[in-house]
Each structure stands twice: as structure tokens, then as C-alpha cells.
Structure 1
Amino acid sequence: MRVDEKERAAPTAWLRVPEPAELPEEVRALFARFEEKTGFVPNVARNFALLPEHFLRWFRYYDHLMRSEGHLSRKEREMIAVVVSAINRCEYCLASHSAYLRELTGDPVLPDVLIANFRRAPLTPKERALLEFAYRMTVASEKMDSADIQALRAQGLSDEAIFEAAQVAAMFNFTNRLANALGWVPNEAYYHLHRVPKEG
């Protein structure tokens, strides 16, 4: 039995997970793209598809926010995802976005350091400022003031980049809470992906 078939047979959420046959064609086509690219359908997609239109609207926003050219680098966005998910202790997003960050950087250690204590990671001043901002936004957004913005501007970040960083942090506070509250289980494959450093 393939890994994806085993996972399909095991519970991936505390709510009902719809069968592919009952989903709209647009969702099934997206699942086929996932499977073609990675060899499996992410459980977040299978779980979120309980409300197909919600899933499609969320995925379009998520995909654009995390994978477009944007004002932040892909690495910066994935680091924010990992740090916010570590603060919220979200197993699903930590498994998946640690794997994406390992893939982007070729560094199998960086995500683990970010999870344990991002302040000890080897970061640029700009990266450190972004992660401090994401931390503040996650644990004490009601205490934030214009000084939090000025700290990012001091590192050369435009207002557009700051707005993008805030959206990434907000996205993962949203998905972390869904995953934690509804018992979303990460695909086992995420734990094994990109563990060997890239050569050269």
C-alpha cells in the first residue's frame, strides 16, 4: 500500500474528511496537481475541502501569499511560517513548512533551530527583525505600536513588504488555530523530506 493510500485510510482530522469522489471537479483537479508534484495530497487540503468553496478561496490566497514573487523572499516567508507555528505549537504547519524551508535553503538544521529558539538562529538583521515582528504579532499584537513598524523600516523594508509580513504571520495564526482545534494530522512524508543537505 502506498503512503498516500495508508494516510487516506487513517483519520487526518476530528471532523469528517470528504472522499475525493464527492468533491467538485476544481478541487479534484487541484488534488491531482498536488499528487503529480509531490506524490501525495496534503492533508490540509483534504481536511479543508469539507467546505470546498472555502478551501478554494483560502488556497488561492495562501498560494499567492506564500509562492508569488512578492516583497519578501520565499525564505523569509517560510521562516515566518515556522516561527509562528512554533509559538502556536502547531504540529501540522511545523511539519509541512519545516520541509518547505529545508527545500528552499538546502539547510536541514535551520528549521529545527527556528523552532527551538529563533533568536539563536544564524540570521541576517533583516530576517531577525521580521521574526521579532512575527513573534510580537503572535503573542502580543494588542501591545504593538508604531515602533514595531519602525524597526522593520530601519532594516530597509518597504511598507508593502511590512504589510506582506503581517499577512504571512496572520495567515499562520489562522491556519495554526484551525489545525490545532480540529485535530489535523500532517502527512508523514513531511517529516522525511529534504533532510540531506544539498551538495555544492
Structure 2
Amino acid sequence: MSWIKTIDYNKADSKLNSIYKRVKGPEENVDNVLKLHSLRPHTLIGHMTLYKSVLHHSANVLPKWYLEAIGVYVSYLNKCDYCVQHHSAGLSRLLNDTEKENQFFKALRKDKLETYFDEMYLEGMRYARKLTIAPSKMVKADFTKLKESGFAEGEILEINQVTCYFNYVNRSVLGLGAN
């Protein structure tokens, strides 16, 4: 449900239905975050294009589990429970290791990510945190730290884009009351 009116899969007109068919789950369900776009279906196309590009494109170099972990972290920082829950499930599938999963969520809750990530990946998480909670404070040194920790510029772009994507989605969910 949400505060904004949404159109269910079985009530969608032909245009929206054709988009829903591309994004529906195995049980003919469309996630609430996607239904938020139902009054303006063209925005759903944009959302899905960005989502697939930042998290699931074959040209991405960083591991999917790491990109998903950034998304969970950004959502956690934004207090977007809907996205934390949905993407925690995805992260769990990608990690496929209950102990690693538990360690990640313990580190997240205690704000001790350094106990989970190596220095390079930790620097990426620090970048995601600052970009999420203090975007106007970003400086070239933040970028330089990523390079010095071992990230190539294309990988930095991946971190940036997944961080920006989750900030966008978190604000859509929180601003329109999706749950």
C-alpha cells in the first residue's frame, strides 16, 4: 500500500500492463515500489532502466553482493525499512552464507562496518555514507581516497550510481508512503 493511488496489475490498461509484465514477480505480483509509478508509467520505465544498469548490468565489475550491500546500507542510513527488507533478502541470496549475512547485519546495526569489510570496500561504504547523509560536503579528497584504496574510476562510478539510485528510491518510498 501507499499514500498515492496505485493501479494493480489486474486493473492496468494495456500500456501499463505491458510494462508490468516486464517487471512482475513469479506470482503475477508487482512490488509496491514499482506500483508507485503506475499513474505515470513512463517513470517506471526510467526507474527499471536505472535499477538494472546499476545493479544487474553485465558490464559492472564490482561484485553484485557488494553493490547490494551498498544499497542496504544507504537504505538503512535513510531509515527506509521497505528497501532494507527487500534488498536484505537479495543480499542474503547473493551471499549464500548465513554466517557472513549475520556478520554484515551485526556490523551494520553497530555501525562497525570495519569489522566486516576489507579496507578497500570499507572506503566505498564510507563514500556511500557521506554521499547519502552529507552530499554537499563531498570533496575531491573523497574520490581520491577511493582511488588510493584500489578502486578504478569505473568502479567508483558504480559505487556512486548505486548510492544515488538507492537514495532516489528511498525518497520515492518514504515520500509516497510505500510499504
State if a TM-score over 0.5 links the two structures: yes
Q: Whole-Å Cα distance in 2 between the matches of residues 78 and 114 of structure 1?
A: 15
Tell me, yes or no, if the aligned pair for 2:75 and 2:166 is still in contact at 8 Å: yes
Tell me, yes or no, if the aligned pair for 2:120 and 2:149 is still in contact at 8 Å: yes
TM-score by length of 2: 0.87
| Residues 127 and 56 (structure 1), Cα distance of their counterparts in 2 relative to 1, 3 Å cut | same
Q: Which amino acid aligns with 1:109?
A: N
Deviations 1:19-59 (A, max 9, x none): 32324242232244x225xx743221222223211101211
- Aligned counterpart, 1:146: 140
- Aligned counterpart, 2:26: 35
Tell me, yes or no, if the aligned pair for 2:104 and 2:116 is still in contact at 8 Å: no
- Aligned counterpart, 1:174: 168
Q: Whole-Å Cα distance in 2 between the matches of residues 51 and 110 of structure 1?
A: 40
Tell me, yes or no, if the aligned pair for 1:81 and 1:168 is still in contact at 8 Å: yes
Unaligned runs of at least 5 residues, structure 1: 1-11, 186-200
| Cα deviation, residue 119, structure 1 | 2.4
Q: Percent identity?
A: 25
How many residue pairs were aligned?
A: 171
Q: Which amino acid aligns with 1:48?
A: H
Tell me, yes or no, if the aligned pair for 2:36 and 2:176 is still in contact at 8 Å: no
| Residues 19 and 163 (structure 1), Cα distance of their counterparts in 2 relative to 1, 3 Å cut | same
Residue from 118, 124, 128 that aligns with 1:134: 128
Q: Whole-Å Cα distance in 2 between the matches of residues 113 and 41 of structure 1?
A: 31
Residue from 20, 26, 31 that aligns with 2:18: 26
